[in-house]
Amino acid sequence: MCLWIVLDCSIMLMCRRWLVCSLKGQYRSLSFSASRRSVMPAWVIDKYGKNEVLRFTKNAALPIIHYPNEVIVKVHAAGLNPIDISMRGGYGAATMAMKRDPLNMNQSGSEFPLILGRDVSGEIMECGLDVNYFKPGDQVWAAIPPWKQGSLAEFVVLSANEVSHKPKSLRHVEAASIPYVAATAWSVIVNTGGLNKDNGSKKRVLILGGSGGVGTLAIQMVKAWGAHVTVTCSQNAERLVRDLGADDVVDYTAGPVEKQLQTLQKFDLILDNIGGETEKWALDLLKPWNGAKYVTLVTPFLHNTDRLGLADGMMQSGVTIGCKVLKHLRKGVHYRWGFFAPSGPTLDEISEMVDAGKVRPVVEKVFSFAQVPQVFQKVEQGHARGKTVVSVIDDQKE
């Protein structure tokens, strides 16, 4: 979840009424199928909980274009991420409800039936009136914001600025493994960490937890920009991360990882996918007074809003990060929180890197659409080696 969830709320509050009024009468269902049906197959949840809340239905509502900048995508493949497991249990529900309904006009629980799945690769079926960059038939991919209905369905509706043309070199089941982790890694490394293709050469980057979805993508990104990459993972993931470009690999099962890392040169950027105790020692590995940054993806932001409510939770989060920033700034290093940020232009950049052979998908396992409960169980077990993907349409039909 990205920080602009909070920052753009005031704008949404002012614009919502104008949008509803000005677009009245422009709501459109899928013209290609409206005459035949108004429902679709999907995996949904009707309440928050464990895996038993997942339900398959053939009667999920077909998506509708509400605004002229939206597109409807036929899902060929979907990717699952740890955030889907958390959302199934209600994580972030307060913040997501605010994003879906900033004026608080709907009743509690109006998000149900909720469709999960943050990655999609598929085909444009219909475009809103203001969409010029895409046309029906275009092969696309996207990272779906967590406040929107997800990709574990036949169709999904998205804003055009969240969508990008799929890499030509990838099949849909491969492409669906990339968007969410790519958007997250780009947000953390480029937007927050300040590292990019123009300044990345010879920078020293440490990725804590490098064998999962975000880690495997981040390794390839920064390596393509000329950085020296150090990764922590277990011994059985070493070959994978080295194949992706890691220069140094530290096995966290071989002893205290902080002691092993202290024998290496200090770093310009640390990406933390682990959280917890790592904050107590990781910032000491940064180059002091050199603009070095520690960015963690494990933040208490949504936990605070779930526990304390939106206003108090945001205040608590502000106090927490403010104190940590000041504490570490006195030591000459920068402490930051990182968040997912949906972005079609970001995926355009990643698509070019994929087709140039600089980034490749890391797919651990592909499941069929009928096996979605097993997919959740697989992702929930952790210790991922890349991504888990759901094939909604068989490759032979693509």
CATH of residue 145: 3.90.180.10
Closest CA to 273 of 246, 299, 297, 240: 297
Q: Do 163 and 266 belong together in one domain?
A: no
Is there a contact between 251 and 226 (Cβ–Cβ < 8 Å)? no
How many CB atoms neighbour CB 326 within 10 A?
10
Residues 318-350: pLDDT tens digits?
999 999 999 999 999 999 999 999 999 999 999
Range of the domain at 139: 39-177+362-391
Q: Do 201 and 332 belong together in one domain?
A: yes
Dihedral Cα 187, 166, 386, 90, nearest 10 deg: 60
Q: Do 288 and 258 belong together in one domain?
A: yes
Q: Do 124 and 259 belong together in one domain?
A: no
CATH number assigned to the domain comprising residue 300 = 3.40.50.720
The DSSP output letter for 266 is P
Closest CA to 131 of 163, 166, 99: 163
Is it the case that residue 256 has pLDDT exceeding 60?
yes
Q: Helix 344-355 to helix 213-224 angle, to the nearest 10 degrees?
A: 70
Residues forming a β-bridge with 54: 45
* Predicted structure pTM score: 0.89
Residue 30 maps to a domain: no
Q: Do 82 and 151 belong together in one domain?
A: yes
Q: Do 66 and 148 belong together in one domain?
A: yes
Residues 173-216: pLDDT tens digits?
999 999 999 999 999 999 999 999 999 999 999 999 999 999 99
Q: Do 133 and 234 belong together in one domain?
A: no
Residue 29: per-residue pLDDT: 47
Residue 395: per-residue pLDDT: 45
Residue 36: per-residue pLDDT: 56
Q: Do 117 and 208 belong together in one domain?
A: no
Angle at 267 between CA 262 and CA 273, to 5 degrees: 85
3-state secondary structure of 364: strand
Look at phi and psi of residue 146 and say left if phi exceeds 0, alpha if psi is from -120 to 50, else beta.
alpha
Residues 89-120: pLDDT tens digits?
999 998 998 888 887 777 777 899 999 999 99
Mean pLDDT computed over 391-397: 69
**In Å, how far from its chain's centre is CA 324?**
25
Residue 95 maps to a domain: yes
Residue 105: is it exposed, middle or buried by C-beta count within 10 angstroms (0-12/13-18/19+)?
A: exposed
Mean pLDDT computed over 233-245: 95
- Count: domains in the chain: 2
Closest CA to 271 of 202, 213, 208: 208
